[in-house]
């Protein structure tokens, strides 16, 4: 659930009117709910209270310093995929000793920086990477803590671009080869085997793939604990959120009204599914949620510039583009669109909501039945807190949007809107 709802005829984030935000700070604008972020983190943390665990927030989902600071103050760890993300975590007050470093292409500079900062573990994606980390650590007079990422060949049944746990994906070591990888790595002088990691994909809406993966990999984790004394098993992230209907899902009564077989995956159902097997291991369990924590904690506001009626379609042209939110263009990501001013009646029309970018793929929704919002009005693209701003770009030489954090009745700019001078500041 989340903290976006209509109050007195206008969409609010917590106790702040989003129309007021649009008028004060302009559009496009990303707006985040601090209390939604904290609620999601706390619910996940509490659901796993029966076991030794650490929630490692996936920084790539939303890396704003204020978001990271909020979670660091709660005691969160962090799942990072670059040296830059580690830098952000440290600047936000996060503890590098609670960071795990994933990714298939770590550079020498990133490995050196991570070792200097004393991260908890490298999640190693290949034997070649383990050998290289060993060399770098040796040159620095250090021992690098590592955990191999195993690819369990489990179908997450999600979009092909965010499925990571099958043999044809680039991530991890094949399940058939993983024990041999540990054996060979155990001979390296400057690495220490401290864990095992897996992650099968993102936006999973069923608990079944999680259970399948945990049941398949847990015996391996137990064997590695007995053989090499590993201390943790990371089961990755991937718990999905409700993109449709996003606004209605804010209400407890909406969840209560769903038939059991149709109800979206809850964190309580997820924990109940994976905990029985994990309890047996006696290992520290790490989780790497990103979208679950911040996805439904954010919206993107954009203003309607023009309405264009053609023989085939009605287009609503808005001031945000695919450079601001690329998910619909990149992997058919759905974001519910609602007017900030609450519609008075049922005046839906079929439309395409498109941006100003010179690309046919620059759309947020096509052939959609939506309220007929007028030119000049502000709309909200819901569920934009994850993989929204972090994937934004300056394509078409467009400044990056402002980011705003709401806490109760207070709204604070947490990243200024980029100016035209900012755009070219680094160029010669």
Report the CATH number at residue 317.
2.40.37.10
User: What confidence score (pLDDT) does residue 156 get?
Assistant: 52
**Which alpha helices (DSSP H) does 26-143 contain, by range?**
34-47, 65-73, 83-91, 108-117, 127-139
Q: Residue 242: which CATH number?
A: 3.20.20.10
Q: Strand, coil or helix: what is 7?
A: strand
Residue 162 pLDDT level (bands cut at 50, 70, 90): very low
Domain assignment present for residue 19? The answer is yes
Q: Which of 273, 293, 313 represents a domain boundary (last residue)?
A: 293
Domain assignment present for residue 314? The answer is yes
Residues 103 and 237 in one domain: yes
Residues 129 and 278 in one domain: yes
Residues 96 and 25 in one domain: no
121, β-bridge pairs: 100
Domain assignment present for residue 257? The answer is yes
pLDDT(326) > 50: yes
Cβ 337 vs Cβ 365: under 8 Å: yes
Residues 209 and 95 in one domain: yes
Distance CA 74, CA 95 (A): 12
Residues 286 and 315 in one domain: no
Residues 56 and 153 in one domain: yes
User: What confidence score (pLDDT) does residue 205 get?
Assistant: 87
Q: Which of 293, 327, 360 represents a domain boundary (last residue)?
A: 293
pLDDT(93) > 90: yes
Residues 67 and 166 in one domain: yes
User: What confidence score (pLDDT) does residue 165 get?
Assistant: 40
Per-residue pLDDT of 339-394, as tens digits, reads: 999 998 788 999 999 999 999 999 999 999 999 999 999 999 999 999 999 999 99
pLDDT(166) > 70: no
Buried b (16+ CB within 10 A) or exposed e, 149-164: bbbbbbebebeeebbb
Residues 285 and 368 in one domain: no
The chain-wide mean pLDDT, for the chain, equals 94
Distances (CA, A) of 273 to 43, 47, 195: 16, 11, 22
Radius of gyration of the chain (CA): 23
Distance CA 118, CA 320 (A): 40
**Residue numbers annotated as active site:** 358
pLDDT(168) > 90: no
User: What is the percent of the chain with per-residue pLDDT over 90, rounded to a whole number?
Assistant: 87
Cβ 383 vs Cβ 335: under 8 Å: yes
User: What confidence score (pLDDT) does residue 155 get?
Assistant: 63
Residue 250 pLDDT level (bands cut at 50, 70, 90): very high
Domain assignment present for residue 424? The answer is no
Backbone angle region of 79, left / alpha / beta, with phi > 0 → left and psi within -120 to 50 → alpha: beta
DSSP letter assigned to residue 400: P
Domain assignment present for residue 422? The answer is no
Give the residue ranges of the annotated binding site for substrate. 291, 327, 331, 359, 387
Residues 211 and 281 in one domain: yes
338, β-bridge pairs: 380
CA triple 237-240-244, angle to 5 deg: 165
Residue 133 pLDDT level (bands cut at 50, 70, 90): very high
Q: Which of 261, 293, 325 represents a domain boundary (last residue)?
A: 293
User: What confidence score (pLDDT) does residue 157 get?
Assistant: 54
Instruction: Quickly count: other Cβ atoms within 10 Å of residue 9's Cβ.
Output: 12
Per-residue pLDDT of 142-156, as tens digits, reads: 999 999 999 887 765
CA triple 139-144-146, angle to 5 deg: 140
Residues 85 and 208 in one domain: yes
7, β-bridge pairs: 10
Nearest C-alpha neighbor of 158 from the set 215, 213, 240? 240
Distance CA 118, CA 267 (A): 31
Distance CA 256, CA 311 (A): 43
Distances (CA, A) of 426 to 154, 314, 400, 420: 44, 40, 15, 12
Distance CA 321, CA 74 (A): 34
Per-residue pLDDT of 292-313, as tens digits, reads: 999 999 999 999 999 999 888 8
Domain assignment present for residue 206? The answer is yes
For residue 276, the number of C-alpha atoms closer than 13 Å in the C-beta half-sphere is 7
Domain assignment present for residue 426? The answer is no
Q: Strand, coil or helix: what is 360?
A: coil
Distance CA 226, CA 179 (A): 13
Residues 273 and 341 in one domain: no
Residue 77 pLDDT level (bands cut at 50, 70, 90): very high
CA triple 298-343-406, angle to 5 deg: 25
Give the residue ranges of the annotated binding site for pyridoxal 5'-phosphate. 238, 288-291, 387
User: What confidence score (pLDDT) does residue 48 get?
Assistant: 95
Give the residue ranges of the annotated binding site. 238, 288-291, 327, 331, 359, 387
Least confident piece of the model among 36-40, 212-216, 226-230: 212-216
Residues 261 and 318 in one domain: no
pLDDT(12) > 50: yes
3-state secondary structure string across 245-290? CCCHHHCHHHHHHCCCCCCCCCHHHHHHHHHHHHHCCCCEEEECCC
Residue 317 pLDDT level (bands cut at 50, 70, 90): very high
Count of structural domains within the chain: 2
- The predicted model gives 249-268 an average pLDDT of 89
Nearest C-alpha neighbor of 118 from the set 140, 139, 103? 140
Least confident piece of the model among 70-84, 86-100, 175-189, 250-264: 250-264
Domain assignment present for residue 52? The answer is yes
User: What confidence score (pLDDT) does residue 281 get?
Assistant: 96
Residue 161 pLDDT level (bands cut at 50, 70, 90): very low
Residue 312: is it exposed, middle or buried by C-beta count within 10 angstroms (0-12/13-18/19+)? exposed
Domain that holds residue 327: 4-30+296-416
Helix, strand, coil percent values for the chain (each to nearest 5): 35, 25, 40
For residue 402, give every residue at least 6 positions away whose Cβ sits within 8 Å of its Cβ, in sequence order, or none.
25, 26, 29, 30, 413, 415, 416, 417
Enter the tokens of residue 200. Answer: 């099968």
């Amino acid at each position: 659930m989340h903290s976006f709802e209509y109050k007195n005829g206008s969409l609010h984030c917590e106790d702040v009117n989003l129309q007021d935000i649009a008028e004060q700070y302009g559009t496009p604008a990303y707006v985040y709910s601090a209390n939604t972020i904290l609620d999601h983190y706390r619910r996940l943390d509490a659901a796993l209270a029966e076991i030794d665990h650490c929630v490692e927030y996936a920084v790539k989902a939303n890396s704003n310093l204020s978001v990271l600071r909020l979670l660091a103050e709660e005691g969160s760890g962090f799942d990072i995929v670059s040296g830059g993300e580690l830098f952000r975590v440290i600047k936000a007050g996060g503890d590098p000793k609670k960071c795990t470093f994933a990714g298939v292409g770590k550079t020498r500079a990133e490995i050196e920086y991570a070792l200097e900062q004393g991260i908890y573990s490298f999640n190693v994606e290949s034997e070649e990477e383990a050998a290289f980390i060993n060399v770098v650590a040796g040159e620095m007079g250090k021992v690098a803590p590592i955990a191999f990422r195993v690819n369990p060949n489990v179908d997450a049944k999600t979009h092909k671009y965010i499925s990571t746990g099958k043999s044809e994906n680039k991530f991890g070591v094949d399940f058939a080869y993983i024990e041999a990888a540990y054996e060979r790595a155990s001979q390296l002088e400057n690495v220490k085997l401290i864990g095992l990691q897996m992650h099968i994909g993102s936006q999973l809406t069923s608990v079944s793939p999680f259970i399948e993966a945990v049941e398949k990999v847990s015996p391996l984790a137990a064997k590695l604990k007995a053989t090499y004394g590993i201390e943790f098993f990371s089961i990755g992230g991937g718990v999905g959120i409700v993109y449709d209907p996003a606004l209605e899902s804010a209400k407890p009564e909406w969840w209560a009204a769903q038939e059991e077989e149709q109800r979206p995956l809850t964190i309580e159902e997820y924990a109940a599914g994976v905990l029985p097997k994990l309890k047996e291991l006696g290992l520290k369990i790490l989780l790497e949620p990103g979208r679950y924590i911040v996805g439904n904690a954010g919206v993107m506001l954009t203003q309607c510039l023009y309405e264009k009626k053609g023989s085939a379609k009605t287009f609503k042209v808005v001031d945000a583009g695919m450079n601001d939110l690329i998910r619909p263009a990149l992997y058919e990501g759905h974001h519910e669109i609602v007017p900030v001013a609450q519609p008075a009646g049922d005046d839906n029309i079929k439309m395409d909501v498109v941006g100003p970018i010179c690309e046919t793929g620059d759309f947020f929704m096509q052939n959609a039945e939506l309220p007929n919002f007028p030119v000049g009005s502000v709309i909200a693209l819901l569920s934009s807190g994850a993989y929204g701003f972090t994937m934004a770009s300056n394509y078409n030489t467009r400044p990056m949007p402002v980011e705003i954090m709401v806490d109760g009745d207070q709204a604070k700019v947490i990243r200024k809107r980029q100016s035209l001078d900012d755009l070219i500041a680094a160029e010669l």
